[in-house]
Amino acid sequence: MFNLTKRTNQSKIHTLLLQLGAIVAALVAAGIVMWAMGYNPFVIYTKIVEGSVMVSENAKKGGVPYRLLQTINKAIPLVILSLGVSVAYKMKFWNIGAEGQFYIGALFAAYVAFNFKQLPPYILLPFMFLSAFIGGGLWGFIPAVLKNRFNASESLTTLMMNYIAIGIVTYLQLGPWRDPEAKGFGRMPYFTENAILPKVFGIHIGFIIALILAVIIFVLLKKTKLGYEIAVIGENETTAKYAGINTAKVLFITLFISGGICGIAGMIQASGIEKTLTDQISGGLGFTAIITAWLAKLSAPIILVVSFLFAMLLQGGAYLQVSMQIPAAISEVIQGIILFFVLGSEFFIQYKIVFSSKIKEAK
């Protein structure tokens, strides 16, 4: 017989070691899966690193190397989305609607891009940026209202709102917003030059926005009264009410911010990468962001690191497909296994197993 008891003294080093151990174990487990599929895991891991950050031999001089650029491009929306959901998660509001908020943000930005073409970029881009924030914010705000008024489970409402958002974009893409010059091809027109994000060091300036947002979210959660209120509500809602915090108001503001930030990610992806809006634009990043936010324990600086590592996996997976004809899905398998192991390690951080013949109930 064995018994589980709650650990009373979790040291930081112990926690860190357990988490690192979980990641190593996850890589080993994923390696076994690859090996069972007939691939050499060492080769695959090497190729993933090679394909995501290494400079290829025939690279041009100057600027950021192509593969690294691709990785950074994937990391940018992932960072912003992770920051967005982490604000809601801090409050234990399970916003899994980042995908939908991303699409609505992109949609609002696209509306501005299509209809205010004449504006100069230094006005148009901030205008798109603001619209995206409002669009995504509204998409996050609706589930918050439903939760507050009808106690509707946010994990269901936010999830369903994703499909509504994608449906709207698909409708616009094939219907009213379809590019008449695309010759029957169902897509929207490309943004005009002034609606496209400028580049710095060959990378669109979304990376600067992502870094600034990381700082803002860090300050918001750690240093402001609102951040404190969010944390208090997340940890203990009855105490929050007891202390006189207006929980409904904080809920609405928080979800507007959370959704709004996810909306900004949509605008950046549409303007910086796709240069238009499509119903494929997110590539499921809104769901990957849930994993990265969680693995980073909702800490803004760690989100930067984890998102970059996940972008490496994504980019490395794509490289595997091209260079070795190995399905890119292998990187999703690795992602899933890592999440599984790290979440599992949480249990061993909280509890320890005591083997004994005599059970003592721990109250």
Cβ proximity to other proteins: between 23 and 349 the closer is 349
Taking the mean position of all CA atoms in its chain, how far away is CA 260? 13
Kindly state the helix (H) or strand (E) to which residue 326 belongs, with its residue range: none
Backbone angles phi, psi at 185, to 5 degrees: -80, 130
Kindly state the helix (H) or strand (E) to which residue 229 belongs, with its residue range: helix 225-235
| Minimum gap (Å) between residue 7 Cβ and other proteins | 10
Q: Which residues contact 329 (CB under 8 A, 6 or more apart)?
A: 317
Q: Which residues contact 272 (CB under 8 A, 6 or more apart)?
A: 73, 76, 196, 197, 204, 205, 206
Cβ proximity to other proteins: between 226 and 273 the closer is 226
| Minimum gap (Å) between residue 254 Cβ and other proteins | 14
Cβ proximity to other proteins: between 134 and 253 the closer is 253
Instruction: Assign 3-class secondary structure to 101-164.
Output: HHHHHHHHHHHHHHHCCCCCHHHHHHHHHHHHHHHHHHHHHHHHHHHHHHCCCHHHHHHHHHHH
Distance CA 186, CA 112 (A): 20
Distance CA 305, CA 233 (A): 27
| Minimum gap (Å) between residue 249 Cβ and other proteins | 10
Angle between helices 12-36 and 329-350 (to 10 degrees): 150
Cβ proximity to other proteins: between 9 and 115 the closer is 9
Cβ proximity to other proteins: between 239 and 323 the closer is 239
Cβ proximity to other proteins: between 117 and 241 the closer is 241
Cβ proximity to other proteins: between 14 and 223 the closer is 223
| Minimum gap (Å) between residue 253 Cβ and other proteins | 12
| Minimum gap (Å) between residue 177 Cβ and other proteins | 39
| Binding site residues, other proteins, CB under 8 A | 8-9, 223-228, 231-232, 235-236, 238-239, 241-246, 359-361, 363
Cβ proximity to other proteins: between 123 and 359 the closer is 359
Q: Which residue has the tokens 């400028």?
A: 198
Q: Which residues contact 242 (CB under 8 A, 6 or more apart)?
A: none
| Minimum gap (Å) between residue 19 Cβ and other proteins | 18
| Minimum gap (Å) between residue 69 Cβ and other proteins | 37
Q: Which residues contact 246 (CB under 8 A, 6 or more apart)?
A: none
Cβ proximity to other proteins: between 161 and 232 the closer is 232
Distance CA 273, CA 129 (A): 15
Nearest alpha-carbon partner for 77 in 253, 314, 325: 314
- Amino acid identity, position 26: A
| Minimum gap (Å) between residue 210 Cβ and other proteins | 23
| Minimum gap (Å) between residue 307 Cβ and other proteins | 25
Kindly state the helix (H) or strand (E) to which residue 3 belongs, with its residue range: strand 2-6
